[in-house]
Amino acid sequence: MTVSVDTAEPSEFSPRQNAVLEQALRLLVDGGEKALTTS
């Protein structure tokens, strides 16, 4: 599955897809913060 956030407008996503993308982004941010704090 490929996610093209740059080419797709948010309005093209369904609320469910928006929720999934938001959760994935939150996990990425959390993982990045943990990687920075533990190094």
Query: Which among 37, 5, 1, 39 has a CA at the least distance from the CA of 21?
Result: 5
25 belongs to a structural domain:
yes
pLDDT at 23: 93
Domain assignment of residue 22, given as a range: 15-39
24 belongs to a structural domain:
yes
Any idea which residue has 């990687």 for tokens? 35
Domain count, the chain: 1
Average pLDDT of span 22-38: 81
Residue 10 pLDDT exceeds 60: no
Q: pTM for the full model?
A: 0.46
Residue 13 pLDDT exceeds 90: no
Query: Which among 1, 29, 17 has a CA at the least distance from the CA of 9?
Result: 17
8 belongs to a structural domain:
no
